Amino acid sequence: MPNTKNVRIGAPEQKTTGAIKRAPVGTTLPTLSSISASGVTLNEAFKGNYYVSEEGLTLTPTKNTNDIKDWSGAVVRKVLESFDGTLSWKMIETNDDTLGTAFGDSNVTKVAANTSHGNQVSVSVGAELPSPESYVFLMKDGNARIVIVVPKGQITELDEINFASNAAVGWGVKLATYPDSDGKNIYIYTDDGEVTSV
């Protein structure tokens, strides 16, 4: 029987932690047991706390198949040829973290404010991709949670960047995902938030 309690929204958990986190590949990743009524336990190496545009996060799992046909040309089976899982979002803050996400931390230099200038960031842009990292996406709907974990992902595409007087500068990115040692690209964990009484 349908249950309205199972209808979820993908609102970001950004009030306390930030909704999108990244860390070097090899960092201990959250699992289902990392989720509790008080939140999600993350390794301290995960960083990131910025606003994402109202379009939110898009997860696109793509399975390409080949048809196996019999002598008459009828399709009798489909076999998986390839899998591609991508996530995309647009960051609407401009700081060293968002620019490091988009262009790679090695291309970002931050200079602290002093008496003659504010906090400064320099970004060098060229023909290279940011290094692969582990990503965690945190969502919260009341007490319920959705957590997406990407063990190894790499920013491979950037949206067109528009500078206008009537809109936030947005850094739209697409994250390609690669399989881990178990052959999985993406993990999705949920918790309905309904704890039992003691």
Q: Give a yes or no: residue 19 inside a domain.
A: yes
Strand partners, 24: 133
Residue 38 lies in a domain: yes
Report the C-alpha gap between 24 and 15 in whole angstroms.
24
Total domains, the chain: 1
Top pLDDT among 1 and 132 is at 132
- pLDDT category at 15 given cuts 50, 70, 90 is low
Instruction: Quick: pLDDT tens for 41-56.
Output: 999 999 998 999 999 9
In a domain, 59, yes or no: yes
> What's the predicted TM-score (pTM) here?
0.91
Q: Is 139 within the bounds of a domain?
A: yes
Give the distance from CA 111 to its chain's centroid. 27
Structural domain containing residue 142? 8-191
DSSP assignment of 105-136? GGGEEEE---SS---EEEE---S--PPPEEEE
- Residue 48 resides in a domain: yes
Examine residue 196 and state whether it is found in any structural domain, yes or no.
no
In a domain, 52, yes or no: yes
Q: What are phi and psi of 123, to 5 degrees?
A: -125, 130
For 111-163, write each residue's pLDDT tens digit: 999 999 999 999 999 999 999 999 999 999 988 999 999 999 999 999 999 99
Does 2 map to a domain? no
Question: What is the DSSP secondary structure assignment for residue 44, as one 8-state letter?
Answer: T
Report the run of H or E that residue 78 belongs to, with start and end.
Answer: strand 75-91
